[in-house]
Amino acid sequence: MNKSLITNIVALALVLVGFLFEQAIVLSVGLFALSGAVTNWLAIHMLFEKVPFLYGSGVITLKFASFKVAIRNLIMTEFFAEEKIDQVMALAKPNIDLEPVISEVNLSPAYDSLIEVIENSQFGGMLSMFGGRDALEPMREPFIEKMKAAVIDISKSDEFKTILDEKLFANSHLGGSLHGTVERLVDERLNELTPTMVKDIIQTMIKEHLGWLVIWGGVFGGLFGLIAALV
């Protein structure tokens, strides 16, 4: 059972207890907690899924083209920039392991770019109601770890290794030639992506952690309900 569902069930239970036993304070706490939890849950759902009649929902799918461009720029500028390839070529050996290089790349700017895309979308206004950029900060490290793992997997694929070996010894302009080949390979793979695939990638990386927004929505909603009942 996930965190969001547990939070909503607890809040609903408080509502029922307060109503059935005529406990005004418990009822107020339950109603406010349920309101906060359900609102945050709906906001998370709207981030990934299109909801009829709710403008701005499904922003990940709607911003599909922007995410593709961001992913391409990330790969080509952070992992396979010509200067980085030249550094690797200086120590060129068969079966080069790029994992140490990839592991040292700083992906914080990539995460910041992802947040900016969300903030500049129709979803940005709603996100700001739940803490904005600060609310998503706990997902930074999980995002970076999963993105590095994904690129390391690509670098270890047989197709990538074959291209790397061929270009290492094909001519004297190794860096530029390999950069162009990698760029074409990345473009081909990104052209195969669909909006649903992009949504699933991002959802897998951050949705688990967004569940805490539902929990804190219920907690703070309950506190506001308690204050409202006592005042």
**How high does pLDDT run on average in the chain?**
79
Specify the number of domains making up the chain: 1
The residues, any chain, with a CB within 8 Å of residue 33's CB and separated by 6 or more, are 7, 10, 11, 14, 218, 219, 221, 222, 225
Q: For position 172, what pLDDT does the model report?
A: 45
pLDDT tens track of the chain, all 231 residues? Answer: 578 889 999 999 999 999 999 899 999 999 999 999 999 888 888 888 888 888 878 887 777 778 778 878 877 777 777 676 666 665 555 556 777 877 887 878 877 877 777 777 766 666 676 666 777 777 788 888 888 888 888 888 877 777 776 665 555 455 556 667 777 877 887 787 788 877 777 777 676 677 888 898 899 999 999 999 897
Asked whether 107 and 148 are in contact (CB, 8 A), the reply is yes
pTM, 2 dp = 0.51
Query: Cα separation of 181 and 189, whole Å?
Result: 12
CA distance 206 to 121: 18
Dump pLDDT digits (tens) for 133-164. Answer: 777 777 788 888 888 888 888 888 877 777 77
Angle at 127 between CA 125 and CA 133, to 5 degrees: 115
Domain assignment of residue 220, given as a range: 3-230
What amino acid is encoded at 84 in this protein?
K
pLDDT digits (tens, 9 = 90+) for 111-130: 787 777 777 776 666 667 66
Using the structure block, give the residue that is written with the tokens 């418990």. 26
Comparing CA positions, the residue from 52, 54, 53, 73 lying closest to residue 116 is 73
